[in-house]
C-alpha cells in the first residue's frame, strides 16, 4: 500500500517512543528510516521498526546513555555513545565531523558503542548537504563467508560515499561489501520473492534463489569484497577498540544486551584542497558527462550513483511510499512488538 511520508514517519516514531525511546532520539531514528524508504531502500526502512522496538523494550539499547565526546587531535575525535540508539549518535558523530572539517579541512570521527544505525547514505548526505565530501563505514554481525571459507566470519560491513555538486544534487553510493545486503534478503522474504543466485549460499555452501534457505552471504567480487570488508572491520572496529570479525555481537542473539558497534566518519572540505566552487562545478560536469555517454543495450541512460534513488524519491514524494501491508498494519496497531526477534536465528524464517 502507499503511505504519505509524513504519516509513515509519525507512525515509526510513535512505535519506538511507545517502546521507551526518548522523543528526540526517536525523531532521528524515524528520519533515518524514512530516508531509506523514500530512496527505495526498503530493507533499511519501516520493516526494521519492530526489531528496534523489541530491542528498546527489552533493554538492549541504553535509553539514558552517558555520552562522551573527546577531541583527540586537530582533525580527529571519538564519540562514545554508551550503547545508545545508533541512528541518533551516528548523526551526532557526523555533525561533529562536519564542524571539524569546516575549521580544519578534514575530519575523522569514530563513533563507538552504538546500536544498529540504519542506512549509511543518510550520514554521508549530511556532509554533502554542507558542500563537503562524506565517507562512512560500519561493522555488522558475522554472516558472510570470507573468500575461500565455508563459514561466516565478517558482517556485510557497508561503506558509503557522497560528493556535492553545484546543481544541488549529490553523488551518493551506499554499498554492502557483500553482493547484496542482508536486509535485501529480508525484504525478499517479506514479499515472498526469489533472490538472484549470486547473492547468497545455503547450508551446503551452494548458491540459492530461495531467501528462506540463505545461510550465508558472499563477498562482492570475491577476494576484492573480502578485502574491503576486512578494511571496514579494522577501521570501524579494531581502530576504536571494539569487538571485530566473528566477535561482533549478533543482531538477534540477545536483545537485552548492548551491541557495542562501531562506525567511522570521514569528512573532506574541498575548500582546503583548491577552489571549492570549481569542485562543485566539476561534479556537476561529471554528472552531465555520464548522461551523455551512449547507453548499453537494455539501458536508456547512464545514471550517476544515487540518481536512481533520487528518481525513486521524487516518485514517492508525489505518490506515497510503498509499504508492505503487514508492516503497515503493525505500525497502525497498539502492539509495541510481537516478540519475534529475541534469540532468533538470523537466517531463520
Burial (0-12, 13-18, 19+ Cβ within 10 Å), 124 = buried
> Please, what is the Cα angle at 248 between 247 and 251, to 5 degrees?
130
**How far is Cα 329 from Cα 149, in angstroms, rounded to an integer?**
41
**Set 25, 116, 187, 337: catalytic member:** 116
Give the three cell numbers for residue 306: 544515487
CA-based nearest residue to 71, from 25, 108, 102, 34: 108
Which residue's C-alpha cell is 538492549?
Answer: 60
Q: 44 catalytic, yes or no?
A: no
By the 8 A CB rule, do 214 and 181 touch?
A: no
By the 8 A CB rule, do 30 and 13 touch?
A: yes
H helices present in the chain, as ranges: 5-19, 23-38, 49-57, 86-104, 121-128, 182-190, 223-236, 276-292, 307-319, 325-332
Give the three cell numbers for residue 79: 564519540
In sequence order, the β-bridge partners of residue 164 are 170
Give the three cell numbers for residue 316: 514517492
Give the three cell numbers for residue 216: 550465508
Identify the three-state secondary structure at position 64: coil
Long-range contacts from 210-213, C-beta under 8 angstroms, 24+ separation: 211/185, 211/186, 212/349
Burial (0-12, 13-18, 19+ Cβ within 10 Å), 104 = middle
Distances (CA, A) of 148 to 144, 180, 219, 244, 300: 11, 18, 10, 19, 38
Q: Which residues are known to be catalytic? A: 116
Amino acid at each position: 500500500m502507499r503511505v504519505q511520508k509524513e504519516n509513515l514517519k509519525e507512525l515509526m516514531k510513535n512505535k519506538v517512543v511507545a517502546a521507551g525511546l526518548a522523543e528526540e532520539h526517536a525523531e532521528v531514528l524515524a528520519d533515518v528510516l524514512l530516508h531509506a524508504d523514500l530512496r527505495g531502500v526498503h530493507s533499511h526502512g519501516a520493516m526494521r521498526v519492530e526489531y528496534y522496538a523489541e530491542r528498546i523494550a527489552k533493554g538492549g539499547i541504553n535509553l539514558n546513555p552517558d555520552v562522551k565526546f573527546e577531541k583527540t587531535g586537530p582533525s580527529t575525535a571519538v564519540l562514545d555513545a554508551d550503547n545508545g540508539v545508533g541512528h541518533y549518535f551516528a548523526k551526532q558523530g557526523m555533525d561533529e565531523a562536519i564542524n571539524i572539517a569546516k575549521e580544519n579541512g578534514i575530519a575523522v570521527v569514530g563513533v563507538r558503542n552504538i546500536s544498529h544505525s540504519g542506512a549509511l547514505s543518510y550520514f554521508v548526505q549530511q556532509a554533502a548537504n554542507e558542500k563537503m565530501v562524506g565517507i562512512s563505514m560500519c561493522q555488522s554481525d558475522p554472516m558472510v563467508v570470507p573468500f575461500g571459507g565455508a563459514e561466516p566470519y565478517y558482517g556485510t560491513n557497508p561503506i558509503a560515499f557522497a560528493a556535492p555538486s553545484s546543481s544541488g544534487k549529490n553523488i551518493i553510493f551506499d554499498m554492502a561489501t557483500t553482493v547484496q545486503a542482508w536486509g535485501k534478503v529480508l525484504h525478499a522474504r517479506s514479499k515472498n520473492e526469489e533472490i538472484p543466485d549470486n547473492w547468497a549460499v545455503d547450508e551446503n555452501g551452494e548458491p540459492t534463489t530461495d531467501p528462506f534457505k540463505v545461510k550465508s552471504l558472499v563477498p562482492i567480487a570475491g577476494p576484492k569484497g573480502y578485502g574491503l570488508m576486512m578494511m571496514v572491520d579494522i577501521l570501524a572496529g579494531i581502530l576504536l577498540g571494539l569487538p571485530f570479525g566473528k566477535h561482533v555481537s549478533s543482531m538477534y542473539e540477545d536483545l537485552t544486551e548492548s551491541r557495542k558497534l562501531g562506525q567511522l566518519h570521514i569528512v573532506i572540505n574541498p575548500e582546503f584542497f583548491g577552489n571549492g566552487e570549481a569542485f562543485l562545478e566539476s561534479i556537476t560536469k561529471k554528472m552531465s558527462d555520464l548522461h551523455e555517454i551512449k547507453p548499453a543495450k537494455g539501458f536508456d541512460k547512464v545514471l550517476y550513483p544515487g540518481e536512481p534513488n533520487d528518481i525513486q524519491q521524487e516518485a514517492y514524494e508525489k505518490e506515497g511510499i510503498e509499504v508492505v501491508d503487514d508492516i503497515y498494519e503493525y505500525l497502525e496497531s497498539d502492539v509495541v512488538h510481537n516478540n519475534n526477534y529475541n534469540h532468533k536465528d538470523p537466517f531463520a524464517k
